[in-house]
Amino acid sequence: MNKKIRLSLFRNHHPAPGRQKGVGLIVIFLVLAFLQIIGFALLMVTSTGTRMAGNIRTQQQASNAAESGFNNSWVSIEDSFADGDWISFDGHYVIEPTGIDNPQADNYFRKLTDLEILNVLDTDSDGTPDVDNVLYFRQPFIPTGSGTYNLLHTYTVFLIDDEAGGGTADPNDALLVCIGAVGSGNNVTTTRLEIELVIRTEGST
């Protein structure tokens, strides 16, 4: 009696062991690469955030320095008028170098950066202004524990005749320019304040 035997052929859908290892390595490499990218991105965000926080803090310190310059100058100017040493702003403006108060000039103070202004006021960089009528120049104001002052935080203050470039001269008003600076050398952060001062006389509004 003949028997027919049916042979069922099953295809093996599972990869060979060697192929499994290859696929596993590729997956591991992809995961490691992804984690490395994420780690690098987190590192960049963290360092950038720290840098930005430092820059904001330094800028705020420069603003505080400029405000300190204004406050001290305001008291000094009021005292000068009260004592009769000043009767107007005439003769107390910074007028050098030539053109610093003229909007048409190349070295008009508003066309210069804060550091450029400090340099033209002190051309030989000896820490003392080379022009007249600078109220304060690189003035430190934060005391240290040893009785000295922190030289990295300073302010510079001077008066500008806002009618020097044209218009009717008025010795009863002036532009008070205050530059706060934090740092030394080329690594200096600055902030500038410009405040118009007007002498109030009796009967004026």
- d(Cα 184, Cα 190) in Å, to the nearest integer? 11
Residue 23 sits at φ, ψ, to 5 deg, of -65, -40
The whole-angstrom distance between residue 205's C-alpha and the CA centroid of its chain comes to: 37
- 197 contacts 157 by C-beta, under 8 angstroms: no
Angstrom distance (rounded) from CA 142 to CA 21: 67
Res. 164 pLDDT band, cuts 50 70 90: confident
**Residue 80 clears pLDDT 60, i.e. is over it:** yes
> Could you tell me where the DSSP H helices lie in the chain?
17-82, 114-121
Of residues 75 and 3, the one with the higher pLDDT is: 75
Convert the pLDDT of each residue in 106-159 to its tens digit: 999 999 999 999 999 999 989 999 999 999 999 999 999 888 999 999 999 999
User: Residue 77: is its pLDDT beyond 60?
Assistant: yes
Residue among 125, 111, 109 nearest 159 (CA): 109
* Contacts for 107 with CB less than 8 Å, ≥ 6 apart: 97, 99, 100, 120
pLDDT band for position 48 (50/70/90)?
A: low
Question: Would you place residue 9 in the very low, low, confident or very high pLDDT band (cuts 50, 70, 90)?
Answer: very low
* pLDDT of amino acid 10: 44
Give the residue extent of every domain in the chain.
64-198
pLDDT at residue 14, rounded to an integer: 53
